[in-house]
Structure 1
Amino acid sequence: MDLVGAWRLVEWRITCTGGQASHPFGRDATGLLCYTPDGHMSITVARADRRPLPGASPRQAPVEARAEAFASFFCYSGRYEVRDGCVAHDIEVALDPALAGTTQVREVNIDGDRLVLAVPRGGRWHALIWRRA
């Protein structure tokens, strides 16, 4: 299973048991997933219509603007390992501090230049679909 390289987000879809689908950052979300040959990985996903933070420094932007920037962006990085048709992301750094130190396991399906990472969670099926960059 060759994950090494850069992947661009095609779709982040959450499907409920009844078949209803949602897109947490919209149908036009953007993202980049990178796997290195030495076992490191990084993922970033963002809503497409994000507004720039006002002010000279992001830390000086109003709290509401910073909260919106946080809510419209997702990222983490660390090490990865392929295991039995799955990939395990051992998270070292994340936008959400609660993810640091955890291992996130995803089912992997590769078909040519298309990669699907999926996981069942809370009665819903989370699928991130990527295309090799």
Structure 2
Amino acid sequence: MDLVGAWRLVEWRIGAPGSGVSHPFGRDAVGLLCYTPDGYMSMTVSRAGHAPSPAGSPWGASPEPLTEPSAEASASFLSYAGRYEIREGQIAHDVELSLDRSVAGAVQVRELNVNGDRLVLATSERGDWHTMIWRRS
């Protein structure tokens, strides 16, 4: 199974018993998932049209200090990186860095299905079924 390379988000959906399906960052969410040959990964997902940093941010023209992400930014942007390991029918992301501090240091285990240029990662969380569908970039 060859996961190495870049994958673009097709859909992120959450199925909740009795509530139907929702799309946390909208049906048009965008994302990039990268796997390296030496066992590292990074994943970033954003609501479409996620606002860029203001010109006064550390990446802009002004030397403003770094600040914590705003609640709005955190609610529309997800990012983490670390090592990965493929297990029988699953993949484990050992999160080293994350926008959400509560995820750093955790191991995210996902059901894994690869079919050609499609990658599906899924997991159950608090009774809801999270599914992320990716297309090889």
Any residues of structure 2 matched to 1:7-22 within 5 Å, and which? 7-18=7-18, 20-22=20-22
Aligned AA for 1:83?
A: R
Q: How far 1:107 moved relative to its partner?
A: 0.3
Aligned AA for 1:32?
A: L
Q: Does 1:49 align with 2:49?
A: yes
Q: Does 1:36 align with 2:40?
A: no
How does the TM-score come out when normalised to structure 2? 0.88
Counterpart for residue 98 of structure 1: 102
Counterpart for residue 88 of structure 1: 92
Counterpart for residue 130 of structure 1: 134
Q: Are the counterparts in 2 of residues 53 and 66 from structure 1 also a CA contact under 8 Å?
A: no
Q: Does 1:69 align with 2:73?
A: yes
Report which stretch shifted further, 78-87 or 18-27: 18-27
Query: Identical aligned pairs, as a percentage?
Result: 63
Q: How far 1:55 moved relative to its partner?
A: 4.6
The C-alpha deviation readout for 1:103-131, integer Å capped at 9, x for no partner, is: 00000011110000000111110000000
Cα RMSD between the aligned structures? 2.0
* Matched residues, number: 131
Aligned AA for 2:40?
A: H
Classify the secondary structure of the residue corresponding to 2:2: coil
Classify the secondary structure of the residue corresponding to 1:37: coil
Counterpart for residue 121 of structure 2: 117
Q: Are the counterparts in 2 of residues 88 and 106 from structure 1 also a CA contact under 8 Å?
A: yes
- Structure 2: runs of 5 or more not aligned: none
Q: Are the counterparts in 2 of residues 92 and 100 from structure 1 also a CA contact under 8 Å?
A: yes
Aligned AA for 2:91?
A: V
Q: How far 1:67 moved relative to its partner?
A: 2.4
- Structure 1: runs of 5 or more not aligned: none
Partners of 1:82 and 1:17 in 2: CA distance: 29
